[in-house]
A and B are shown apart, each in its own frame.
Chain A
Amino acid sequence: MRATVRDVLMRLRGLAQRRSMESRLDDEMRFHVDMLTEQHVRAGLSATEARRKALTAFGGMERFKEDARDEYRNRLLDELGQDIRYAIRVLRRNPGFGVAAALTFALGIGASTAIFSVVHGVLLRPLPYEAPDRLVVLWESQPARGNDRNVVSVPNFEAWRSSARSFERMAALVPLPATIAGAPSPEHVMGAEVSPGYFEMLGVSPALGRTFASSEERDGGDDVVVLSDGFWRSHFGADRRVVGRTLLIDGRPHTIVGVMPPSFDPPQFSWLIDQAFWRPFGPTDNNRGWGRFLLVVARVKRDLPVSAALRDVQGIAAQRATEDKGNEGWSASIVSLSAQITGDTRLPLLVLLGAVGLLLLMAVTNVANLTLGLVRRREHELAVRRAIGATGGRLLRQIITQSAVVGAVGCLLGFAAAVGGVRALVALLPPDTPRSGSIRVDAPVLLFTASISVIAALAVGAVAALRGGRNGATSLRESGGRAAARLRGGSLVTAEVALGLVLTVLAGLTLRTFEKLRTVDLGFDSERVIVARVGVSGPRYQTPAARTAFFDEVLSRVRALPGVQAASAISTRPFGGMGPATPLGDASAAETGDSVVADVRYADAELFRTLRVPLVAGSTFDSRDALDAPPRVIVNRTLARRLWPSESPIGKRLRVPMFNGIVPEVIGVVGDVHLMDARTPARGAIYLANARFPMDALDLVVRASDDGAAVVKSLRSIVTAIDPALPVFQVTMLETLVGRALARDRFTAALLGTFALVSLLLAAVGIYGVFAGDVAQRRKEIGIRVALGAPSGGVIALVMRRAVTRAALGVALGSVGALLAARAMRSLLFGVGAADPVSFVGVAALLVLVAVAATLVPALRAARVSPLVAIRVDH
Chain B
Amino acid sequence: MAEKGRGDVLQGTLDMLVLKSLQLGPMHGWGITERLETGSERVFQVGQGSLYPALYRLERQGYIASDWGVTENNRQARFYKLTSSGRKRLAEERATWARMSRAVELVLRMGEAEA
Contacts and interface: CB of A to CB of B under 8 A. Distances in A.
A451 B30 CA distance: 51
A70 B52 contact: no
Interface in B44-85: 47-50, 52-53, 56-57, 60-62, 75-78, 85
Contacts of B30: 31-32, 35-36
A59 B62 contact: no
B78 A28 contact: yes
Given A7-B60, A10-B60, A71-B57, A58 B78 contact: no
Kindly state the interface size class of chain A when it binds its partner.
20 to 34
Nearest to B30: A35
Nearest to A57: B48
B49 A27 contact: no
A3 interface: yes
Contact of B53 (A11, A14, A27, A71): A71
Nearest to A10: B60
A64 B50 CA distance: 8
Interface in A1-53: 3, 6-7, 10-11, 14, 24-25, 27-29, 31-32, 34-36
A451 to B, nearest CB: 33
Nearest to B50: A67
Contacts of A550: none
Contacts of A11: 60
A238 interface: no
B60 to A, nearest CB: 5
B56 A3 contact: no
B56 A32 contact: no
Contacts of B75: 31, 34
B35 interface: no
Interface residues of B, number: 19
Contacts, number: 56
A63 interface: yes
Nearest to A65: B52
Interface string A782-824: 0000000000000000000000000000000000000000000
Nearest to B29: A32
A68 interface: yes
B60 A59 contact: no
A59 B57 CA distance: 20
A28 B53 contact: no
Given A7-B60, A71-B56, A71-B57, A31 B76 contact: yes
A354 B30 CA distance: 66
Contact of B56 (A31, A36, A68): A68
Interface string A59-102: 10001100110111000000000000000000000000000000
B20 interface: no
A67 B53 contact: yes
A31 B60 contact: no
A31 B62 contact: no
Contacts of B78: 24, 27-28, 31
Nearest to B47: A59
B62 A68 contact: no
A35 B77 CA distance: 11
Contacts of A25: 52
B52 to A, nearest CB: 5
B67 to A, nearest CB: 11
A70 B50 CA distance: 12
A864 B18 CA distance: 64
A6 B57 contact: no
Contact of A3 (B28, B62, B76, B77): B62
Contact of A68 (B28, B47, B53, B77): B53
A278 B10 CA distance: 91
A36 B57 CA distance: 23
Given A14-B60, A59-B48, A67-B49, 7 more contacts: A10-B60, A28-B77, A31-B29, A31-B77, A36-B30, A58-B48, A72-B56
20 contacts: A3-B62, A6-B62, A11-B60, A27-B78, A28-B28, A29-B52, A31-B30, A31-B76, A32-B30, A32-B48, A34-B75, A35-B30, A36-B30, A67-B50, A67-B53, A68-B52, A68-B53, A68-B56, A71-B53, A72-B60
* Top-5 shortest CB links A-B: A35-B30, A71-B56, A64-B49, A68-B52, A71-B53
